[in-house]
Amino acid sequence: MQTSEVIALTIIISTTLILLIGGTLIYFLFLYQRKRYRHQQEVLELREAFNQTLLQSKLEIQEQTLDHISKELHANFSHLVSLININLSEILPQSSSEIKENILETKSLAKQLLGELKALSSSLNTDHILHIGFVKALDNELTRLSKTKKYEVSITKTGEEYRFAAEHEIILFRLCQEILNNTVKYSKAKRVTATIIFSPTSFRLEVADDGIGFDIDLALEQVAEKGSTGLMNIKKRAHLINAEVLLNSKPNEGTSFVIIIPREQTK
pLDDT digits (tens, 9 = 90+) for 96-124: 777 877 777 777 777 777 777 776 676 77
Does residue 131 sit in helix, strand or coil? helix
Give the Cα separation of 189 and 210 in Å (integer): 5
- Domains and their CATH numbers in the chain: 134-267 (3.30.565.10)
157/126: higher pLDDT: 157
pLDDT at 217 over 70: yes
For residues 62 and 231, what is the distance between their CA atoms, to the nearest angstrom?
18
Residue 231 CA to residue 178 CA, distance in Å, equals 8
In whole angstroms, give the CA distance from residue 175 to residue 145: 16
Of 167, 106, 109, 164, nearest in space to 135 by CA:
164
Distance (Å, whole) CA 87 – CA 9? 114
Rg (CA), the chain: 31
Q: Comparing 252 with 98, which gets the higher pLDDT?
A: 252
Q: What's residue 210's pLDDT? A: 94
At 210, is the secondary structure helix, strand, or coil?
coil
Looking at every residue in the chain, the average pLDDT score rounds to: 79
Please determine, for residue 3, whether its predicted confidence score (pLDDT) is greater than 80.
no
Spatial separation of the C-alpha atoms in residues 186 and 191, rounded to whole Å? 13
Q: What is the pTM of this model?
A: 0.63
Residues 20-43 have a mean pLDDT of 72
Residues 6+ apart with CB under 8 A from 81: 110, 113, 114, 117
Angle at 263 between CA 262 and CA 267, to 5 degrees: 125
229: which DSSP letter? -
- Please determine, for residue 70, whether its predicted confidence score (pLDDT) is greater than 70: no
Q: CA dihedral defined by 263, 52, 235, 258, rounded to 10 degrees? A: 10
The helix/strand/coil state of 249 is strand
Q: What is the pLDDT of residue 195?
A: 96
Spatial distance between the Cα atoms of 216 and 117, rounded to a whole number of angstroms: 35
DSSP strand E in the chain: where? 152-158, 191-198, 202-209, 244-249, 255-262
Angle between helices 3-72 and 230-240 (to 10 degrees): 110
Among 190, 199, 195, which Cα is nearest to 258's?
195
pLDDT in tens, 7-19: 666 777 777 777 7
